[in-house]
Structure 1
Amino acid sequence: MELDEVSALLHSEPLQLETGYERLPSGVLHVAVRTDMHRCLGEMFEWWFRWRCDTQKYVWWHPADHVSSVWEGSLSDDTHVGSEHVVTERLTALPAEDLVIQFRDPSEFFEAKEYESARREQRVSCAVLGRVGFGHEPHRGPSGEVLGGRLLHVGRDTEWGLAMRSHFYLGQDLPATGATPAEVEEAVPTELAGELLQHCYNEFTYLSRFLPSLFIAEHRDTRPPKIPW
């Protein structure tokens, strides 16, 4: 699935690639991860990225892989869009890597009316979308957009919890610079795919274990919890 085909994520039908990876003709590495986040809701997932965990809480999230966390960019309480998550993390067995995740508006990835329809019809309950750059000073475009890769976390509420689909496009901007498929493949080796897949699955499985309780606790003054929940 190419990046310009990700509107398929706005529908509940199974994708051809739900969990796995593929090398696209351009050399870009596409990694897909499906995670069932029991007892979670899309509202909780989006709130987590707006809460902006510090390093301590980032390590709570994934004790094995997460190293450090700070936030930059636009830090509105109302949206995660515009914020930048500056992290150091391991991808399972690989050495720790410095990354910047720049959260972007859904309109960068989806046609606006189609996205609004998917939210209204509850085919999508959350979307955390962004650009990924390697290093803490990644390459940027003329408008400050981070260059390197893309990530999409698109979830749907079900009777048991949140069905989360995560898709990564590593090396997405390299073909635009004139890099050949072989050069893109060299820059983003296939070994990244399996380690990222495992990391993402573990990361959101761990998060699902405490996110409902944390969300309820942080909102108890405005939304008194029902016991038991």
Structure 2
Amino acid sequence: MTEPRPDPTRRTHLGMRPGELAGKWYAKYWNPVMAPLPEHIREAIDRGPQAPPLCLELDDVGALEEAGYQDLENGYSLFDDGSMHIATVTRMPRVSPEMVDWWFWWHASETQRYKLWYPRAHLYAQWPGGAGERSAPYRERYIGGTSFVDEYVGHVPGRLAIRFVRPCSMGFSEDRLDPQEATAVCATVGFSDAPLDWGHLVHHVRRVDGGAEMRSRFWMGGGHVSPRGEVSLSGELGKVAEGVRNLGDAQARAMVVHCSQEMNHLAEFLPDIFDEFKRSEHE
């Protein structure tokens, strides 16, 4: 099977150009003014890199289903192999896990929807072939698909392929992921213009009083770098791989900021846009 590819002629820009939201029912949710970073995230960045033993290992990610918290919930760590681990908590008033599953299905098929999420960093989105069957539960509509997105992390632009996988493939018990109580968005992160993966992400969302709590985790670089398909890490692809094997402090800090800002901004409008979608059954 040929690997899906993004549109090579895509044009990207930050923000919305005049007329870009014309006729879009969701235009009212565009808000380029973003709130400051939460205090707990600023404190985590000030602490700098944390000891690797405090981090949740990728093989143990299913522990996020348990009550309570991990040793490192906000912050980052750098490892000897050049990889980094990122952890953030986002508190989401009035949000449910089901809303998050809906968002990961709905936003990916149109650039303007993707820009609502993070006006200061998101550039482009494409979902080849369309995202999921509308009759399926929201989580089933994005699992197995690949979202091509262009975005900035800090000052660095990236062209990414985010391939959504089943939560059970990363160690979650799917019978415990009732969309009214909890969900886990799980994906492999790679490049969209090169057959190379270089990380994994999880957003575990659970019900709390007054809404939901998202606990995000990223494992990137170092030993997480691998080719997609039957290709070798030689020549130009080898050079690309070397560029993401050794991720440093600046990139880790930028990733903490990026995740926190985009998820806090999403939490501001997600309950209302989801409610309008459900009431009107918009496309």
Give yes or no for TM over 0.5.
yes
- Secondary structure, aligned partner of 1:219: helix
Corresponding residue number in structure 1 for 2:88:
33
- Which runs of structure 2 are paired with 1:6-21 in the superposition (5 Å)? 6-21=61-76
For 1:106, the aligned partner's letter is P
Following TM superposition, by how much is the alpha carbon of 1:208 offset from its aligned partner in structure 2, in angstroms?
Answer: 0.8
State the alpha-carbon separation in 2 of the partners of residues 4 and 25 from structure 1.
18
C-alpha RMSD over aligned residues: 2.7
- Which runs of structure 2 are paired with 1:32-111 in the superposition (5 Å)? 32-53=87-108, 54-72=110-128, 75-77=131-133, 78=136, 79=140, 80-91=142-153, 93-110=154-171
Any conservation in 1 of the 2:123–2:151 contact (CA below 8 Å)? Answer: yes
State the alpha-carbon separation in 1 of the partners of residues 151 and 265 from structure 2.
15
Compare CA radii of gyration and give the structure with the larger one: 2
Q: Which has the higher contact order (CA 8 A, sep 6+)?
A: 1
Any conservation in 2 of the 1:97–1:135 contact (CA below 8 Å)? Answer: no
- Secondary structure, aligned partner of 1:148: strand
Following TM superposition, by how much is the alpha carbon of 1:186 offset from its aligned partner in structure 2, in angstroms?
Answer: 5.3
* Structure 2: gaps spanning 5 or more residues: 1-55
What's the TM-score, normalizing by structure 1? Answer: 0.81
State the alpha-carbon separation in 2 of the partners of residues 86 and 41 from structure 1.
26
Following TM superposition, by how much is the alpha carbon of 1:76 offset from its aligned partner in structure 2, in angstroms?
Answer: 1.4
- Secondary structure, aligned partner of 1:63: coil
Any conservation in 2 of the 1:86–1:136 contact (CA below 8 Å)? Answer: no
- Secondary structure, aligned partner of 2:201: strand
1:186–1:150: structure 2 CA closer, same or farther, 3 Å change rule?
closer
Corresponding residue number in structure 2 for 1:227:
none
1:119 to 174, 177, 180: 177
2:266 to 201, 207, 221: 207
Any conservation in 1 of the 2:98–2:179 contact (CA below 8 Å)? Answer: no
1:82–1:120: structure 2 CA closer, same or farther, 3 Å change rule?
closer
For 2:206, the aligned partner's letter is R
Any conservation in 1 of the 2:189–2:199 contact (CA below 8 Å)? Answer: yes
1:107–1:20: structure 2 CA closer, same or farther, 3 Å change rule?
same
Following TM superposition, by how much is the alpha carbon of 1:221 offset from its aligned partner in structure 2, in angstroms?
Answer: 5.0
1:74–1:10: structure 2 CA closer, same or farther, 3 Å change rule?
farther
The 10-residue stretch of structure 1 (18-27 or 79-88) with the greater mean CA deviation from structure 2 = 18-27
* Number of corresponding residues: 207
- Secondary structure, aligned partner of 1:107: helix
Sequence identity percentage: 31
Following TM superposition, by how much is the alpha carbon of 1:194 offset from its aligned partner in structure 2, in angstroms?
Answer: 0.8
Residues 190-225 of structure 1 deviation map (CA, whole Å, 9 limit, x = unaligned): 321111111111101111111111111111158xxx
- Secondary structure, aligned partner of 2:273: helix
Determine if the alignment matches structure 1 residue 134 to structure 2 residue 184: no
1:186–1:76: structure 2 CA closer, same or farther, 3 Å change rule?
closer
State the alpha-carbon separation in 1 of the partners of residues 92 and 211 from structure 2.
6
Any conservation in 2 of the 1:27–1:184 contact (CA below 8 Å)? Answer: no
State the alpha-carbon separation in 2 of the partners of residues 164 and 152 from structure 1.
10
State the alpha-carbon separation in 2 of the partners of residues 37 and 211 from structure 1.
9
